[in-house]
Structure 1
Amino acid sequence: MRATALTSAAIALPALILAAVSHQGLHLQALFAIGLLLGMVLYLSRFGFASTYRKLFLYGDTEGIRAQLLMLMLATILFAPLLAMGSLFGKDMVGATAPVGWQVAAGAFMFGIGMQLGGGCGSGTLYTLGGGSLRMAITLAAFIAGSFWASLHMGWWQALPTLGVLSLGERLGWVSAATLQTALLAVLFFLLPRRMGALTGPTTWRNLFTTPWSLTQGALALATLNFATLIISGHPWTITWAFTLWGAKLAMLAGWSPDTHPFWLGGFQQAAISGSIFHDETSLMDIGIILGALLAAMLSKRLIFTWQASAGAIAASLLGGLAMGYGARIAFGCNIGAFFSGVASTSLHGWLWIAAALAGIRIGVRLRPKFGLMN
C-alpha cells in the first residue's frame, strides 16, 4: 500500500508542477521535463563525478573518466553550431563562460574537497537523494547554506586578478575551436588505459528500467540533454544557482534583506528572489532531477530509502556540502555548470575548474577515512 501511494505521489507531483508553470510558457515545462530525464539518466547509468575521480586516484580506474571525455566531445560538437549562430528562432544562444582567474581556481579546489566529503557532486547530490539516500539531504542543506554564504562575499572574490573570459570559439572561430578541442579530448580518451566497458544496456522500451545502463549510454544521453537545454533556455545546463537562490529565500524568512549586499542588487538576482522558485529555470530543473531519479528508482524496483549516517558521516556531509556550495558559487558553477557546460562552450575556465578540482579531490579522498567514510 505504501509503495502504491509513493508511486502515485511521485507521478502526481511532476504533473502538478507542470500544471503550475503552464501559464508561464512552454519553455519552463520543457526544462522541467528535461530535468526529469536528466534525473532518470543519472540514476540509471549511475553517472557520477565524485566516485569517478576517487576510483581514478585509488585504483587507476579510468572507465568513468573516458565516459566524461565522450560526453564532452559530443557536447562540444553539438554546442558549436548554435553558439556560432548566436541565436535560434529569435532567442540568444550563449555559452557557459566565466573569467579565468584565482576565483575559479579557489572555488573549484574547495569543491573538489567537498564532493569527496559530501558524497556527491552537484548532480550527484540531487540524483542520489532522489534515489533514496537520506544522508544526501544533509549534504544538500549544507550545499544551499554554503552557496548563499558565498554570495555575500562575491565582491571580494571578484576583485581578485583574472585574465578575463577566454573562449576558444570567440578567439579562434567556432569551427577551429570545436575541432581543436574535440581532437584534444579524443587524444586524452585514447591515451587512457582502455578499461571502459562495451556499449551495453537496455535495447528496448521493455528493459529500459530493468537493465543497467552503461556509462557510455549515460554520457551520450547527458550530452544530448544538455544540448536540448541550450536550445530551450538559451544557455547550457546549470545546477547550483538554484541553491544560492533557495538559501537567499530562506534567509529572507529569517529577516535578512537582499538590499544589504551588492550581489543581490543585480537585475537578474532581484527578479529571481522576488519571484517563485517555480518560475526559475534552474530550480525547476533541479527539482526535476530529484523527481526523475525517484521515478527511475521506483520503475526499476530499486528504490530503498537508506540512512547510513554515523556522527562522522554527518560531519562530513555538513563540511562537504558547505565547501561545495561556497566553492561552486565563487567558481561560477559546479561539475556541471562550470566543468561540463564550460568546457562544452570552449571556455578555458572550464579547464581551469577541473584542474583545480582534481587537486582538491586528491585531498578529499585522503580526508574521507578520518570521518569514517570508506574509500
Structure 2
Amino acid sequence: MEVSKGNKRKKKKANQIPVGIGLLIIIIILGYLIKNLGTKHPMSWLLGILLGFTLRNSRFCFTASLRDPVLTGGTSLSKAVIITIALATIGFAAIQYGAYIEGTSIPGNISPSGVHIAIGAFMFGIGMVIAGGCASGTLMRVGEGFMMQWLSLIFFIIGSLWGAKHFGFWENTFMNRGKEVFLPDVLGWFPALILQFGLLLSLYILADRFGNKNN
C-alpha cells in the first residue's frame, strides 16, 4: 500500500518567537502608559497577563473539573481544583484569623445559605456545560479565538448586568431568608479547618481512585 507524498510531508511550524517578543513589548508599553491612572493598575495588568498565561497553559477550568469525570473519566482537573481550594483556604484562614486576633471585623462576605444556592448552582452548572466553559474558561478561550466563547461571553455579561439590576429583589425575596453559617463561629477555628481539609482530602482521594479506575 503506497503512502502518498502529501501524507509524508509535515507542515513546518511557524516561528512564534518574534510574535511573542512583539507582544511582550506591547504589554510592557501598555503597563507603563497606565501607570498614571494609579499604582494598582500596572500590577493588575501584570497579574491579569500572568493569570491568563497560566490558565492557557494549564487548561484550568472549573467546568472541565466537574464535566470530565462524567464524560471522559478524567479527574486531573478535578484534583487541581481541590488543591486550589485547599491553598485558598490556608490564605483566607490566615487573613481572617489575623483579623479575629486583632479584634477587627473579619474580611469577606458570609452569605446566607438556602435553597436559592442549590437552584442557582444547578442552573449555572447546566449553563456552563452547554457554553463549554465557566468564567475563567470562557475568558481563556475568547483569547484563543473561539467564536462560540465570544457568544457565551456576551450573554454572560448581559446576564450579570440583568442580575445586578434586580439583585435587590432576589436578595430580599430569597437570599436574606437563608441562614448565615460561619464554621469558626459554630465549631471553633481549629475544628473548622480540620473539617474543611478533611472534606477536601476525602474528595481528592475519591477523585484519584475514580480517575485511576477509569484509566
Whether these two folds match at TM > 0.5 is: yes
User: Counterparts of 2:19 and 2:193 in 1: how far apart (Å)?
Assistant: 45
C-alpha spacing 1:19/1:169, structure 2 compared with 1 (3 Å)? farther
1:141 paired to 2:154: yes
User: Counterparts of 1:170 and 1:35 in 2: how far apart (Å)?
Assistant: 35
C-alpha spacing 1:94/1:10, structure 2 compared with 1 (3 Å)? farther
Residue number in structure 2 paired with 1:130: 143
Question: How does 1:202-213 map onto structure 2 within 5 Å?
Answer: none
Residue number in structure 2 paired with 1:186: 201
User: Counterparts of 1:164 and 1:196 in 2: how far apart (Å)?
Assistant: 36
Q: TM-score, normalised by structure 1?
A: 0.45
Paired positions, count: 194
| Structure 1 residue 60, shift from structure 2 partner | 3.4
| Structure 1 residue 24, shift from structure 2 partner | 4.5
User: Counterparts of 2:181 and 2:37 in 1: how far apart (Å)?
Assistant: 35
Q: Which runs of 4+ in 1 moved over 6 A?
A: none
The answer (yes or no) to whether the contact 1:168–1:177 under 8 Å persists in 2 is yes
Q: For 1:114, what is the secondary structure of its paired residue?
A: helix
Residues 322-369 of structure 1: CA deviation (Å, up to 9, x unaligned)? xxxxxxxxxxxxxxxxxxxxxxxxxxxxxxxxxxxxxxxxxxxxxxxx
Residue number in structure 1 paired with 2:189: 174
| Structure 1 residue 6, shift from structure 2 partner | 5.4
Greater relative contact order (Cα 8 A, min sep 6): structure 1 or 2? Answer: 1
* Identical pairs, percent: 33
From 147, 160, 174, the counterpart of 1:160: 174
User: Counterparts of 1:9 and 1:116 in 2: how far apart (Å)?
Assistant: 35
Q: Where do 5+ consecutive residues of structure 2 fail to align?
A: 1-13
What's the Cα RMSD here? 3.1
1:73 paired to 2:86: yes
| Structure 1 residue 78, shift from structure 2 partner | 2.5
Q: For 1:103, what is the secondary structure of its paired residue?
A: helix
Question: How does 1:1-375 map onto structure 2 within 5 Å?
Answer: 7=20, 10-86=23-99, 94-158=107-171, 159-160=173-174, 162-194=177-209
| Structure 1 residue 26, shift from structure 2 partner | 3.1
Residues 34-70 of structure 1: CA deviation (Å, up to 9, x unaligned)? 2222111111111112223222222433332222112
Q: For 1:194, what is the secondary structure of its paired residue?
A: helix
The answer (yes or no) to whether the contact 2:63–2:133 under 8 Å persists in 1 is yes
The answer (yes or no) to whether the contact 1:83–1:93 under 8 Å persists in 2 is yes
C-alpha spacing 1:167/1:32, structure 2 compared with 1 (3 Å)? farther
The answer (yes or no) to whether the contact 1:77–1:182 under 8 Å persists in 2 is no
C-alpha spacing 1:51/1:187, structure 2 compared with 1 (3 Å)? closer
C-alpha spacing 1:187/1:10, structure 2 compared with 1 (3 Å)? same
Amino acid at match of 1:119: G
Amino acid at match of 1:81: A
The answer (yes or no) to whether the contact 1:52–1:65 under 8 Å persists in 2 is yes
C-alpha spacing 1:27/1:135, structure 2 compared with 1 (3 Å)? same
User: Counterparts of 1:32 and 1:193 in 2: how far apart (Å)?
Assistant: 36
C-alpha spacing 1:109/1:126, structure 2 compared with 1 (3 Å)? same
C-alpha spacing 1:13/1:156, structure 2 compared with 1 (3 Å)? farther
Q: Where do 5+ consecutive residues of structure 1 fail to align?
A: 198-375
Q: TM-score, normalised by structure 2?
A: 0.75
C-alpha spacing 1:132/1:8, structure 2 compared with 1 (3 Å)? farther
User: Counterparts of 1:150 and 1:144 in 2: how far apart (Å)?
Assistant: 10
Larger radius of gyration: 2
User: Counterparts of 2:211 and 2:38 in 1: how far apart (Å)?
Assistant: 42
User: Counterparts of 2:138 and 2:115 in 1: how far apart (Å)?
Assistant: 26
User: Counterparts of 1:25 and 1:173 in 2: how far apart (Å)?
Assistant: 40
User: Counterparts of 2:154 and 2:19 in 1: how far apart (Å)?
Assistant: 23
